[in-house]
Amino acid sequence: MQIPRRGFLSVAAGAAGVRHEVETVESRHQATANFLRIARPKGSPARRTVLVLPVVAGVTAQWGDGFYEALALRWTERYKVAVAAPSFSALPWYADHPSDPKSRQELYLLEDILPRLSGRVLLLGFSKSGNGAMTLFLRHPDRFAAAASWDAPLFLDAPGKYGSGPIYGTSENFAGYAIPPLLERRAELLKKGPERLSITGFASFENDTRRAHEHMERLGIPHHYSNQTRRPHHWSSGWMEESMAALDRMTR
């Protein structure tokens, strides 16, 4: 998909004809220009924005399109939330490379995307973007209200698999994004409050989802968990509605 100039597009997503904004984003943290899509509820400004995190660079339909799926499910109307989706220059693992200033995905999201969003921000992702939802939330619990991850390699223990090596750069850098120690670091904060995390599955990562649940149970971190139904590893396989319902309940 070619990056558009700033403007508005009218699109049909399934049975829903939902108007959304497309903004070009130039960032010193990315190698190319990217863009941000936002659909807003009608009426009053949204008090919450669901940030749908992509699993590929640019915008392709390899695993479907989570943004359009959310529009087809009428989240802006049913949950009164804005829905947003950024694009990335490289495969998104939501980490900053230790030496390449044009591969700072975390800073790009924090400095260039978040200021364009309204209200509390809820993170949603699957596979590598499910990892991203978890790491972003755990590294910045003051910036995000909640996070939902579906079928993600939550117990990845080293960079390299699934194209992650060039994004993390080094094992030392990856260690700062590894989810089990991040959960341990945030346990005291999270166990004092209400649920803010949802982990569900599965297609490819049933074991990772179960281990993350058991780890949070040991740490006393409240969370939503479901890992019984096998679905295709795809945005449109039916998992998104449960995750959105959990996000809505946790932040309503």
Report yes or no on 89 lying in a domain: yes
Per DSSP, helices labelled H in 154-239 are: 165-168, 171-175, 179-190, 206-219
Question: CA-CA distance, 103 to 89, in Å (whole number)?
Answer: 8
pLDDT value of position 17: 65
What pairing do the DSSP bridges indicate for beta strands 16-25 and 7-13? Answer: antiparallel
Report yes or no on 2 lying in a domain: no
Report yes or no on 200 lying in a domain: yes
| Averaged pLDDT of the chain | 92
Confidence of residue 16 (pLDDT cuts 50, 70, 90): low
Confidence of residue 11 (pLDDT cuts 50, 70, 90): very low
Residue 21's nearest CA partner among 36, 41, 42, 1 is: 36
Report yes or no on 1 lying in a domain: no
Domain CATH code at residue 17: 3.40.50.1820
* Residue-number span of the structural domain to which 233 is assigned: 7-251
Report yes or no on 34 lying in a domain: yes
The average pLDDT across 133-146 equals 98
The average pLDDT across 114-130 equals 97
The average pLDDT across 135-159 equals 97
As beta bridge partners, residue 139 has none
3-state secondary structure of 111: helix
pLDDT value of position 43: 85
Report yes or no on 243 lying in a domain: yes
Task: Count up the domains in the chain and report the number.
Answer: 1
* Contact between residue 159 and residue 170 where contact means Cβ atoms under 8 Å apart: yes
193 compared with 171, residue with greater pLDDT:
171
Question: CA-CA distance, 154 to 157, in Å (whole number)?
Answer: 9
Is 62's pLDDT higher than 80?
Answer: no
Instruction: Tally the residues of the chain.
Output: 252
Sign, CA torsion 246/121/83/2: negative
Residue 52's nearest CA partner among 16, 94, 11 is: 94
Question: CA-CA distance, 153 to 207, in Å (whole number)?
Answer: 9
Q: 0.85 exceeded by the pTM?
A: yes
Residue that has been written with the tokens 């295709």 in this structure? 232
Residue 147's nearest CA partner among 58, 51, 68 is: 51
CA angle 185, 168, 176 (to 5 degrees): 15
